[in-house]
Amino acid sequence: MKLSIVSPIYKGEKMLHHLVERCEAAVSTLTDDYELILVNDCSPDNSWEVLREICAKDKHVKAIDHSRNFGQHPAISTGLKYVTGDWIVVMDCDLQDRPEDIPALYAKTQEGWDVVFARRGERHDGFFKQLGGKVFHMFFRWLTGINTDKNIGNYCIFKRIYADEIARIPDQSRAFGTLIRHVGGKVTFIDVDRPQREEGTTGYTLSRLLKLAFENSISNSNKPLRMATYLGLIMSIVAGLLSICQVIAKLAGMNIMQGYTSTIASIWFVGGLILFVLGMIGLYIGKIYDQVKGRPYSVVRETLNIDE
């Protein structure tokens, strides 16, 4: 059995040696045939120089350097293009995904599961990080209908066939959790502990999480468009009922108070609604435009210890 570990690297300079040492110590109990594929997402620190040093000493470690910062999820997809293992592990580089849990993840696959996620137990993140995660998953579930668990992130192990399928998916908007669920398979999880981050702080602020949820929702669901359609239908029905009431009141000889403010407010409200719907449609057209251009979701500048 050959095992591949894929990890996107961003601001990981101080953690890389620990990451490699702990990964190798963990997988050595399973197999001697393994590879660590570390994808440097144009990190602003000296991560690539550290990776050069590590790769020169350890041929099990393979490094990929992005030409610019494409994001965490495109970096994972880049790594999946280069895997050669029978089983693939995806994990973050900040060591909050503990390498020591890899043997337990693999042991669970031997019960017949294709994909095994690590579900975080006690959270050691700050209040705002946990709040951002809850809001992200609530917003994402509501818009897409995909049932996600706020305690399950990217940390998982899965069969090679699913890595190959994900690498072939040409989507410009990439979220690893959504892609791994899209390709199917028998999925389960095990409970693990998630320690505090050893170095630095997370780059996922509440605003970035909301942006990620909205973009992934547009990429994976047409529910926002259907909501806009329903809203327009409701407004049409309300306007029709109000018109009927006006006609009935006129025929009955009732005096109806004419109001400049209410008229202007109605015009502004309907105008805002129209702009909202047009904006929603524009977002979907923009996604289509990005997709049909056919540009790659990542560009590799350099590789280390990888035989092209």
Residues 188 and 113: beta-carbon distance below 8 Å:
yes
Sign of CA dihedral 24, 27, 30, 35: negative
CATH number where 169 lies: 3.90.550.10
Q: Does residue 142 share a domain with residue 122?
A: yes
Q: Does residue 88 share a domain with residue 163?
A: yes
CA distance 279 to 285: 10
Q: Does residue 248 share a domain with residue 134?
A: no
Q: Does residue 134 share a domain with residue 186?
A: yes
Residue 49's pLDDT is what? 95
Q: Does residue 176 share a domain with residue 136?
A: yes
| Phi, psi angle pair for 169, to nearest 5° | -70, 125
Residue-wise pLDDT tens digits, 120-145: 876 555 665 666 666 666 766 766 66
Q: Does residue 30 share a domain with residue 166?
A: yes
Q: Does residue 177 share a domain with residue 85?
A: yes
Whole-model pTM? 0.77
Q: Does residue 162 share a domain with residue 260?
A: no
Q: Does residue 68 share a domain with residue 141?
A: yes
Place of tokens 């995806």: 90
Cβ-based neighbours of 270, under 8 Å, separated by 6 or more: 235
Question: What single string gives the DSSP state of each residue in 207-258?
Answer: HHHHHHHHHHHHHH--HHHHHHHHHHHHHHHHHHHHHHHHHHHHHTT-----
What angle, 0 to 180 degrees and rounded to 10, lies between the N-to-C axes of helices 127-144 and 206-220? 20
pLDDT tens, the chain, 308 aa long:
899 999 999 988 889 999 999 999 999 999 999 999 999 999 999 999 999 999 999 999 999 999 999 989 999 999 999 999 999 999 999 888 999 999 999 999 999 999 999 998 765 556 656 666 666 667 667 666 666 677 788 999 999 999 999 988 888 888 888 888 888 889 999 999 877 666 655 555 566 666 666 676 677 677 777 777 777 778 778 777 777 877 787 777 776 656 655 676 677 777 777 877 887 788 788 888 888 888 888 999 999 998 76
Range of the domain at 128: 3-220+295-304
- What total number of domains does the chain contain? 2
Q: Does residue 130 share a domain with residue 235?
A: no
What angle, 0 to 180 degrees and rounded to 10, lies between the N-to-C axes of helices 223-251 and 127-144? 70
Residue 271's pLDDT is what? 78
Tokens of 131: 């709040």
Q: Does residue 89 share a domain with residue 209?
A: yes
Q: Does residue 214 share a domain with residue 105?
A: yes
Residue-wise pLDDT tens digits, 155-197: 999 999 999 999 888 888 888 888 888 888 899 999 998 776 6
